[in-house]
Amino acid sequence: MIKIIPTSHLMPKEVIYFIIKKSNPDVIAVELCETRYALMVTPLLNNLIDEKPKDESLIGKISEAIKDKAEKEGLQYGSDQINACLCAKENNIPLEFVDLDITKTKYLMDIIPENEKNGFMNELNEFNKQTLAEQTKNIDVGKLLLEMKAKFPISFEFLINMRNLVIINNILKIEKKYPNKNILVLLGEGHVKIVEDALNG
């Protein structure tokens, strides 16, 4: 059985651990790929200092800006996925990845039209003017996705539609790999409706 939990990428550790404990899954699936797991989680498991080189890709710049702002506000960007991985490892629960590999996402975003690249950088400047709490309070994810699709149609195709297809396909593979098991999938809220509709259709 597949159970999808919509998350924000700023959810605290205790909330993620509570969700997992309450769900009691046989398998945990996260919105990461093996590449991102190696960058975000492996250093924590091995008590290593995160010293990866600065990422100058568009995705890298956006991620670093959000990560830096989160740290200044006492938050951890990606905490939902990171802590789901840590909980899986601590409790010997099989862990699976459902997202498109970040290297492919970066490549796709680096070839979007210049007007969309510039648009993202302008959005980033506006992003820095408010706290994350202010920006995420009472957020309407559906409206946000529609606005993104209108402003950045090519990027929307890469970041949302294409990744949704990969996520759906990977969840189906996991379901086949673990028949009759309870599979808990933690997905950013923006992906949940389309993925659920596809799996239930």
**DSSP per-residue letters across 152-182:** -HHHHIIIIIIHHHHHHHHHHHHHHHSTT--
Q: Crossing angle of helices 163-177/189-200, nearest 10°?
A: 60
pLDDT at 124: 84
Residue 138 three-state SS = coil
C-alpha span between 146 and 194 (Å, rounded): 13
Q: Which residue has the higher pLDDT, 34 or 56?
A: 34
Lay out the sheet containing 95-97: strands in order across: 2-7, 183-188, 27-30, 95-97
81-97 pLDDT, tens digit per residue, is: 999 999 999 999 999 99
2-11 pLDDT, tens digit per residue, is: 999 999 999 9
Beta bridge partners of 186: 5, 30
C-alpha span between 193 and 15 (Å, rounded): 21
114-157 pLDDT, tens digit per residue, is: 999 999 999 888 887 778 877 777 788 899 999 999 999 999 99
- Of the ranges 33-47, 48-62, 85-99, the best mean pLDDT one: 85-99
The DSSP code for 86 is H
Q: Which pTM was predicted? A: 0.91
Residue with tokens 């259709």: 201
Residue 52's pLDDT band (boundaries 50, 70, 90)?
low
12-26 pLDDT, tens digit per residue, is: 999 999 999 999 999
pLDDT at 67: 87
Q: Which of 177, 200, 191 is nearest to 32 (CA)?
A: 191
